[in-house]
Amino acid sequence: MNRAMNHGENPGRETGDRDYRGVLRALIDGDWRDASGAPLRVPIRALDIRETLDGAEGGLVRQLHGKGKVCVVCDQTTEAILGARVASNIGGDCETLVLRDPRSTVDTAEQLRRQTRHADTLVAVGSGTVSDLVKYASFLGGKSYSVFPTSPMNAYTTGSASLTDAGIKRSLPAHNARGVFVDLQILTGCPQRLINSALSDVVCRTTAQVDWLLSRAFRGTPYSDVPYQLLAYDEASLFADARRLRERDLDVMASLVRTCALNGLGSAVVGSTHPGSMAEHMVSHYLDMFAGDAHPGTLHGEQVGVATLSVCRLQNRILRADSPPVIRFVKRGKDFFTRQFGGEQSGEYAACYAAKAFDARDAEKWNARLATHWHDFTAPMRAVMLRVEQVAAPLTAAGAPMSAADLGFDAAFYAEALANARFIRDRFTILDVAGDSGQLESTAA
């Protein structure tokens, strides 16, 4: 494979340090080894981050996908920003499909699959909605796809699609893009709000890792350090330089893009979104699913950032305490879920909760164990947990939302989301420990 295609050696200036280039090259070529020495290869075949891709798009796409018919998919905004240029540079047997005000739903993805039946390859040009729709539509249609982002985020390198199905926000199994091609000049030109949303969506590394370790300890959930070995390449420098995102600094933007990309690749490696999506994402999903007409139109990443701060407070308060929480068994039958969520999805939520809930005997067993082994039990979590001020610092520096009020959500509804988000998914998190020990009510929003 042509390595220049993967690493932006020509044309354009490659942005990034030598360690970063090495880890991407090794991941794509199957030569990267984790801390234990085990080899690792990611499913993406090209990850190209350059100052500019202008003029290179056609070669990048054709080298990966061959000579078949290409359909470039974008929306009205991203067509003007980048889509028309990508289609023009691909040339040949290439057409453009412009989605009019697309929605991130399974129905929309199915419609897109039908609209692109005649194409051999799909190319997404856009951000979250366009990327996830193309990812899932190409998966349903058995086609390969690549993506040209117009804003930074981690969804481009994951193999799952975040779509709403029958009113429920789901992370649906799909497949990975063959190529992710990032033009930093395009990304630095996107609205600051989108940049801050991407930053807010990756600061949750600490809360997701702690929750995943917590789930392993309480419920035996398989866990891997590999995603966090990858994220360690850029996290500290990105947090330290977050203020320069306001200045549209290319190097810091490249750091953000790398962090987003490696976040997604970490999920692809372990076959799960656990590495970067735990309690904080459940809170965001709850806000989207139940705010209705009162939803202020905030972005997923913005919501995740604020929820990360709330979850981080909980984790620090509970897991750094000198004494353990006392877990109480609370029986929650189908009637509880019907009253809380209505009848349509109550059965699904009840099943999610039943898969992880403490029963009376379980609660008694864990209380006895925690009473004698609390510090040993929490040591792995405290070792990777950041303080709230460490998580808040880069968000403040970049000018991202910091509270429910900043997002535009009513404080009572945000508190409801913190209290009830644990019921909409079967992942065990600090919200379950806090909820079953009476410590959710005082969580600051």
Whole-number pLDDT of residue 32:
84
Per-residue pLDDT tens over the stretch 5-15 = 333 333 233 44
The pLDDT-based confidence of 20 (bands split at 50, 70, 90) is: low
What tens digit of pLDDT does each residue of 245-297 get? 999 999 999 999 999 999 988 888 888 899 999 999 999 999 999 999 999 99
Query: For position 9, what pLDDT does the model report?
Result: 32
CB-side neighbour CA atoms (13 Å) of 316: 16
Name, in order, each residue with C-beta under 8 angstroms of 232's C-beta and a sequence gap of 6 or more: none
Confidence band of 65 (pLDDT split at 50, 70, 90): very high
The proportion of the chain whose per-residue pLDDT surpasses 70, expressed as a percent, equals 94
Give the phi and the psi of residue 45 in degrees, each rounded to 5.
Answer: -100, -15
The pLDDT, as a whole number, for residue 440 is: 85
CA distance 137 to 97: 13
Mean pLDDT computed over every residue of the chain: 91
**For residue 40, what pLDDT band results from cuts at 50, 70 and 90?**
confident
**pLDDT exceeding 90 applies to what percent of the chain?**
79
Which range of 32-41, 336-345, 428-437 scores highest in mean pLDDT? It is 428-437
Q: Is the pLDDT of residue 427 over 50?
A: yes
pLDDT tens for 85-94 read: 999 999 989 9
How far from 306 is each of 171, 204, 234, 301, CA to CA, in Å?
A: 21, 10, 21, 9
- Structure token digits, residue 276: 């970067």
User: If you average pLDDT over residues 149-162, what whole number do you get?
Assistant: 93
pLDDT of residue 16: 43
CA dist., res. 167 & res. 267, Å (int): 25
For residue range 178-222, what is the model confidence (pLDDT) as tens digits? 999 999 999 999 999 999 999 999 999 999 999 999 999 999 999
* Cα 251-186-62 angle, rounded to 5 deg: 105
For 283-301, the pLDDT digits (tens) are 999 999 999 999 999 999 9
Q: How far is 431 from 310, CA to CA, in rounded Å?
A: 10
First to last CA, the chain: 49
**pLDDT tens, 156-183?**
999 999 999 988 888 899 999 999 999 9
Q: Which tokens belong to 357?
A: 């809930």
Q: Residue 140 has what pLDDT?
A: 98
Q: Is the pLDDT of residue 338 over 80?
A: yes
